[in-house]
Homo-oligomer: A and B are copies of this chain.
Amino acid sequence: MFDTPTRSSVGWFFLYGLIVRQVSRVSALASRTMSFSFEIEATAGAARAGVFSTPHGDVKTPAFMPVGTLATVKSLDPDDLVQMGASMILGNAYHLHLRPGDEIVREMGGLHQFMRWEGPILTDSGGFQVFSLAQLRTLSEKGVEFQSHLDGSRRFFTPELVMQIERNIGADVIMQFDHVIPGQSDEPTARDASERSIRWLARCLAELKRLELSQPLEEPREEFPGDNPRNHQALFPIVQGGIHAPLRRQAAQAIRAMNDWAGFGIGGLSVGEEKDAMYEMIEVVEEALPPTHPRYLMGVGFPEDLVEAIRRGVDLFDCVAPTRMGRNGTVFTRDGRLNIKRTEYRTDPRPLDPDCDCAACTRFTRAYIRHLFVSDEILGLRLLSLHNVHFLLSLARNARLAIQTGDLDAWARDWLARYRTASPLTV
């Protein structure tokens, strides 16, 4: 007789314990999402000078985020990035899933530990790579089947798998898996992709919640001291809609209704559409998003795009241009771009950009860096990447200052006029 009620009591207590534990986890999660915040210090028209706080530190916005595709910002050392004042960097879920594998990144303590980057990290979901880099893809509502660009192996990305990958990688901000289309796609194509991206967003959110609840908190391992970031992740939705203003507005509205997000991505721009169309879409989305949250314009920028988009209320940027173009010899300067391989720089004693205080410009001449390039020396790649990344970081910092001092319009006008004086080189 005693047995039954006792068992029953044990059962109830066990169930009660489970509930309490889950509730406390949920409230812990809620408090963790509080570890993301955005404070606006000053505005100038649509532009804002803000501070985006993450579990790995603050990002003063507007900010440019250098791209560390494969757990390294190509050719740079983490110390270089610290020295030039980078605060938040990117990783790519697609690339890290293929190499070294997101489970290895997790095993090594997460991406921060793996690449020794103590500041905030954001991971792109692979949406862009699946549609631009992978081969033979087959799209369905469930996800995208594709061949790895490395070895041709078959892969199948779903919103759920991408959340698992991004959770393994452990960035602070993780982007949703989205359906990316060419920049000049027509309305039906753009609508289809945008609506699918929104349905996939809902699945991403559900999967992330499931992962947060089902995966116990991991204690930092002894050999990897420090914070384990995988339990402090903010999922960013991505506003799609191509170059069609109504679609952009509808997407923003649907996304806002779904959840209280920590910030918003603006996707599908700078993918082949006209510049004017891009600027117009930024304006449309700016009006449709809450003014209180950070906005991240994905894959943008070129220096002139940063200036134009900051004026239109964008807070965060990323682009491979500074490192990729740097490796091709293209240098950003206040007076436009130059290509260091040209013969005219053979004995040029000036720095890459006389107005720059980066670790390349304060030490080396154009003549020396040209020599490194012509001789295929690795230091040349590093110095140009370093300069170009510094150029964009510094540009965003200067824009921030102009917002704070109320001079943004004049600053932007002067900056663009000087930058555009020189005819841009084809790169």
Residues A371 and B223 in contact, CB atoms below 8 Å apart: no
Residues B99 and A367 in contact, CB atoms below 8 Å apart: no
Residues B100 and A367 in contact, CB atoms below 8 Å apart: yes
Q: Does A16 contact B (CB under 8 A)?
A: no
Q: Which 10 A-B pairs have the closest CB atoms?
A: A75-B378, A100-B371, A72-B379, A223-B349, A70-B375, A116-B363, A72-B377, A99-B375, A108-B367, A107-B347
CB distance from A41 to the nearest CB of B (A): 34
Q: Which single residue of chain B is at the shortest CB-CB distance from A98? A: B375
Q: Does A310 contact B (CB under 8 A)?
A: no
Q: Does A340 contact B (CB under 8 A)?
A: no
Q: Which single residue of chain B is at the shortest CB-CB distance from A78? A: B363
Residues A382 and B378 in contact, CB atoms below 8 Å apart: yes
Stoichiometry, as copies per complex, reads 2
Give CA–CA (A379, B375) in the complex, Å: 19
Q: Does A364 contact B (CB under 8 A)?
A: yes
Give CA–CA (A349, B285) in the complex, Å: 45
Q: Find the residue from A99, A371, A381 having the highest chain B CB count within 10 A.
A: A371
Residues of B within 8 A of A364 (CB): 116
Residues A114 and B368 in contact, CB atoms below 8 Å apart: yes
CB distance from A101 to the nearest CB of B (A): 9
Residues A349 and B224 in contact, CB atoms below 8 Å apart: yes
Residues of B within 8 A of A367 (CB): 100, 104, 108, 114
Q: Does A284 contact B (CB under 8 A)?
A: no
Give CA–CA (A77, B385) in the complex, Å: 14
Residues of B within 8 A of A107 (CB): 347
16 further A-B contacts with Cβ under 8 Å, apart from A70-B372, A74-B377, A75-B379, are: A70-B377, A71-B368, A72-B377, A75-B378, A76-B379, A79-B359, A99-B371, A99-B374, A100-B371, A100-B374, A100-B375, A104-B346, A108-B347, A108-B368, A116-B363, A378-B378
Q: Does A288 contact B (CB under 8 A)?
A: no
Residues of B within 8 A of A79 (CB): 359
Could you tell me which residues of chain A, from 363 to 391, have a CB within 8 Å of some CB in chain B? 363-365, 367-368, 370-372, 374-375, 377-379, 381-382
Q: Does A416 contact B (CB under 8 A)?
A: no
Q: Does A115 contact B (CB under 8 A)?
A: yes
Residues of B within 8 A of A78 (CB): 363
Could you tell me which residues of chain A, from 26 to 82, have a CB within 8 Å of some CB in chain B? 70-72, 74-79
Could you tell me which residues of chain A, from 73 to 95, have a CB within 8 Å of some CB in chain B? 74-79
Q: Which single residue of chain B is at the shortest CB-CB distance from A116? A: B363
Residues of B within 8 A of A365 (CB): 108, 114
CB distance from A343 to the nearest CB of B (A): 11
Give CA–CA (A177, B278) in the complex, Å: 63
Q: Which single residue of chain B is at the shortest CB-CB distance from A368? A: B114
Q: Which single residue of chain B is at the shortest CB-CB distance from A115? A: B368
Q: Please, could you name 28 A-B residue pairs with CB atoms under 8 Å apart, sorted by A?
A: A70-B372, A70-B377, A71-B371, A72-B372, A72-B377, A72-B379, A74-B377, A74-B378, A75-B378, A77-B382, A99-B375, A100-B370, A100-B375, A104-B367, A107-B347, A108-B347, A108-B349, A108-B365, A114-B365, A114-B367, A114-B368, A115-B368, A116-B364, A116-B368, A223-B349, A224-B349, A378-B381, A382-B382
CB distance from A60 to the nearest CB of B (A): 25
Residues of B within 8 A of A375 (CB): 70, 99-100
Residues of B within 8 A of A374 (CB): 99-100
